Amino acid sequence: MSTQKEKTDEYWLFAQKCNNLLQDDTIRFAGFINSMGRLVAGGFKEGITPLEDEAERQKMYMELALRVSMRKDFDYSLGAVKYSASRRQNAVMISFPINSNVLLVSAEPTVDIDKFANKIMKIIGLQ
């Protein structure tokens, strides 16, 4: 079981990773979501208007945490998830499971998902 100081240190590191990601011109949002569906670090790039309101974002975070948790049921046969992505009309959404948290990144809809995901994994140290 982790201590409060360990959680604080972890969240500080998450915030640093999000700040690094938000330097990319195509990224709109970078945030870490905990297993309870709460945003614990990160957020929107300055000057970006979110496409959803706060209530919808909270719902999306909780749904993401549940989906990531459910996908772990298939790790034994398919292997661990590296990332999941969806291309929507107005944004690309990519999630990266990291221990009991999930990094969620929203980018402009024009990005090449595989190249972009690999770039993110390098930036945050997953590759």
Any idea which residue has 């300055």 for tokens? 46
The domain limits of the chain are: 4-124
Q: CA torsion angle for 8, 63, 17, 78 (degrees, to 10)?
A: 110
Please state which architecture CATH assigns to domain 4-124. 2-Layer Sandwich (3.30)
Q: Which of 11-15, 68-72, 93-97 has the highest mean pLDDT?
A: 93-97
Instruction: Give φ, ψ of 107 to 5 degrees.
Output: -135, 170
- Among 4-18, 52-66, 72-86, 107-121, which is the least confidently predicted range? 4-18
Q: pTM here?
A: 0.91
The 10s digit of each residue's pLDDT in 73-121 is 999 999 999 999 999 999 999 999 998 899 999 999 999 999 999 999 9
What kind and span of H or E run contains 67?
helix 54-71
